[in-house]
Chains A and B, each alone.
Chain A
Amino acid sequence: MTSVLTVRSLITGKAHGALLVLSDGLSFWGGLDPASGEIVDSQHPQRGQNVRGKVIVLPSPKGSTAAPGALLECLCAGNGPAAIVLVRPDVTPVAAVLAADIVAIPSIPIVQLLHPSDLASFDLATHALLNGEELILS
């Protein structure tokens, strides 16, 4: 089954990849290993999963103000996600991607769901295709 969502674009772009829906916010600093892309926060429900090349869904902002540095490191090492889907606005990943752009590290798109209830559309999907403000889940 395929569903199509309209989303708000924070960093515009195209991406596709396997979906990784996180059930809790992720603190990039201390919670993500930049050398592998693996979630290493011992308290995180998706500990051990890898964000590399995936379209990740973040339910809420979390973590220290130093988090953009950790995500930038992850992007620089080529271990970052393919795209980030936010449920609530969060400047942290936006800052990391804007910084990446300044030093010519490949950017990734970031979008926000228009309604938190859109999250239900992700329940049965395993793959996401993002093109600007259109997100196709299958």
Chain B
Amino acid sequence: MHLTAEDKSCLAGDRGEATRLATRFLVAAGEAMQASRLIDITRCHLVGSYYAGEADLLLLRRFAALGAKVRVPTTLNASSACLDSCSLNPQIDQEQAGLVVRLHEQLGCDPVLTCAPYHLPAPPVLGERIAWAESNAVTYANSVLGARSNKTVQYLDLCAALTGRIPEYGLYLDSARAPALVIDCASIPSPFWDEPMHWELLGLLLGYKCGSDIPLITGIDVEPTQDMLRSLSAAAASSGGMSMFHLAGITPEAPLARVSELQTTCVAALPLSTDDLLNELQPYAGSEGDAVSAICLGAPHYSVSQLSRLAEEVLSSAMRLKIPIYVTTSRYNLAQLQNTLQLGELRARGIFFLVDACSYYGQVIPKQTAGVMTDSAKWAYYAGGNLGVNAYLGSLENCIETARQGRLVRGDRS
């Protein structure tokens, strides 16, 4: 690997022991991945922000004891517990999670505790090289923002933050960002894409079909909202480990010229139909009337627009909720709505606003006695295994109606 004079100086210990250890880590990881050099990054988002065990604490304490400080703005992913006064977590969870957060704060990290860092002010821009670790955020950043990041694994992310450097491989390179196959959605009628949940299904299916290969999606002639693109990113990153997609006419690195170029080199485009997408719902469909004990929204953390839409839908009727709605979001997003959303009224109706954490971790929500409905494919994909519950996937309207009836309700259409 080619190292600059500054890299060599860091390796020699001229910038302190913490920088020496972090740089040595980056060089060894870079050589393992056959990177040719280290490059500068502008910001980091760390995954190790939740309590994972004692070994992890050893590492954080070692760096803190050495006086290590991050060299670039560094934010923290969601925690293992909700740490504000609305927390439902047992105290031990809050203490352990709080310790991990404090150690990161000593290193200079910003404890935003959100899996949706793209909602924070001044998100990354086209071409910006970043080191993010949360999978949905990486897929969104690469695809929708045109920033560049691999799915930076734990400890590599921390060493990147402590140095402002990262080994250059994978999605930092132009050659790795070209699509490998075409997904043709031309047979799907435009109104189908009005329903946010259908973008979740597209994400699930793309993950299964493409794995970690980058698809170019063609034939969608509507302009999706940011929330829809986020749904697509999160679902595809869950089911297939996808780190990037191109959506023709929408995402910044999918200009039309690339489409024709690719279609001449590709074996064939893979056509998707409405039925293909609706089939993805089957594992999470359940049956009308199934017992449901809670609704979980907000994986990734609910956006300001999603929170507003939820409030509007719930308050559109005087009906109270028979089962609770747990919605996870960031403190930042919730604070923006503090004065506009009728939080008191919504809480009185049975909505729990939980910050910092995700409801499929540990004991962020109470143990469930029946199935759980969600509007997030990512939540449905992971929660069954993590929480041992039946997860049902539906539109926000389905979720709210299910909360009102206290049993699974589905409309005519998914």
Given that A65-B47, A110-B32 are contacting pairs, would A73 and B386 also be in contact in the complex, using a CB cutoff of 8 Å? no
Q: Which of B134, B151, B155 interacts with A96 by CB under 8 Å?
A: B155
Q: Which one, B25, B56, B153, contacts A65 given CB within 8 A?
A: B153
Asked if A50 is at the interface of the complex by the 8 Å CB criterion, the answer is no
Q: Is the C-beta of B62 less than 8 angstroms from some C-beta in chain A?
A: yes
A residues in contact with B156, CB < 8 Å: 68, 91, 95
With A65-B135, A98-B29 known as contacts, the answer to whether A73 contacts B52 (CB < 8 A) is: yes
Contact sample, A vs B, 16 pairs, CB 8 Å cutoff: A10-B31, A30-B386, A42-B385, A64-B135, A68-B155, A69-B55, A69-B56, A70-B52, A73-B52, A89-B34, A91-B156, A95-B153, A96-B155, A98-B28, A102-B59, A103-B59
A94 touches B28 (CB 8 A): yes
Chain A residue with Cβ nearest B170:
A91
Residue from A34, A66, A92, A99 within 8 A of B59 (CB atoms): A99
A→B interface (CB under 8 Å):
10-11, 30, 34, 42, 61-62, 64-70, 72-73, 75-77, 89, 91-92, 94-96, 98-100, 102-103, 105, 110
CB distance from B156 to the nearest CB of A (A): 5
Contacts of B31 in A (CB 8 A): 10
Chain B: residues with CB nearer than 8 A to chain A? 21, 25, 28-29, 31-34, 47-48, 50, 52-56, 58-59, 62, 133-135, 151-157, 241, 385-386
Evaluate contact between B59 and A89: CB separation under 8 angstroms: no
Q: A58 CB to closest chain B CB, in angstroms? A: 14
- Identify the 4 closest CB pairs spanning chains A and B, nearest first: A76-B55, A10-B32, A73-B53, A99-B155
Structural contact, A69 and B53, CB atoms closer than 8 A: yes
Across the interface, which residues of A come within 8 angstroms of B157, CB to CB? 65
- Pair A94/B32 contact, Cβ less than 8 Å: yes
Q: For the complex, what is the distance from the CA of A30 to the CA of B385, rounded to whole Å?
A: 9
Do B52 and A66 touch (CB < 8 A)?
A: yes
Residues of A near B153 (CB, < 8 A) are 65-68, 91-92, 95
Distance to closest chain B CB from A96 (angstroms): 7
Contacts of A34 in B (CB 8 A): 53
Find chain B residues with CB under 8 A from A69 CB: 48, 52-53, 55-56, 154-155
Contacts of A65 in B (CB 8 A): 47, 133-135, 151-154, 157
Nearest chain A CB to B60's CB is how many angstroms away?
A: 10
- In the bound complex, residues from chain B placing their C-beta under 8 Å from that of A94 are 28-29, 32-33
B25 and A66 form a contact (CB under 8 A): no
Does the CB pair B385–A102 fall under 8 Å? no
Extra 6 A-B pairs, beta carbons < 8 Å, given A68-B155, A103-B59: A30-B386, A68-B156, A76-B55, A94-B28, A94-B29, A99-B155
Name the residue of chain A whose CB is nearest to the CB of B212.
Answer: A61
Select the residue from A61, A67, A96, A103 with max chain B CB neighbours within 10 A. A103
Distance A73 CA – B57 CA, assembled complex (angstroms): 10
Bound state CA distance, A110 and B53, in angstroms? 23
B56-A98 in contact (CB<8A): no
Residues of B within 8 A of A95 (CB): 25, 29, 153-156
Rounded to whole angstroms, the CA-CA distance of A59 and B294 in the bound complex is 39
Partner of A68, one of B58, B154, B385: B154
Check if A91 sits within 8 Å of B32, measured CB to CB.
Answer: yes
The answer to whether A73 and B154 touch across the interface, beta carbons within 8 angstroms, is no
How many whole Å from B162's CB to the nearest CB in chain A?
11
CB-nearest residue of chain A to B35: A91
A67 to B29, CA, bound (A): 15
Residues on the B chain within 8 Å of A67, using CB? 153-154
A66 to B156, CA, bound (A): 11
Give the residue among B152, B153, B386 with the most A Cβ atoms within 10 A: B153
Nearest Cβ on chain A to B250's Cβ, whole angstroms? 26
Report the Cα distance A94→B59, complex, angstroms. 15
CB proximity of A12 to chain B, nearest CB, Å = 10
Closest-by-CB residue of A relative to B138 is: A65
How far, in angstroms, from A61 to B243 measured CA to CA in the complex? 14
Q: Chain B residue with minimal CB distance to A98? A: B25
B32, B135, B152 — most chain A CB neighbours (10 Å): B32
Kindly name the residue among B21, B31, B47 whose own CB sees the greatest number of chain A CB atoms within 10 A: B47
A35→B82 CA distance, assembly (Å): 26
CB distance from A117 to the nearest CB of B (A): 20
User: Bound state CA distance, A30 and B52, in angstroms?
Assistant: 11
Distance between Cα atoms of A75 and B142 in the complex (Å): 33
Give CA–CA (A82, B36) in the complex, Å: 29
A68, A72, A91, A102, most chain B CB atoms within 10 A: A91
A75 cross-chain contacts in B, Cβ below 8 A:
55
Residues of A within 8 A of B59 (CB): 72, 99, 102-103
- The interface residues of chain A lying within 8 Å CB-to-CB of B135 are 64-65
- Closest chain-A Cβ to B35's Cβ sits at a distance in Å of 10
Shortest beta-carbon distance from A99 to chain B in Å: 4
B49 nearest CB neighbor, chain A only:
A66
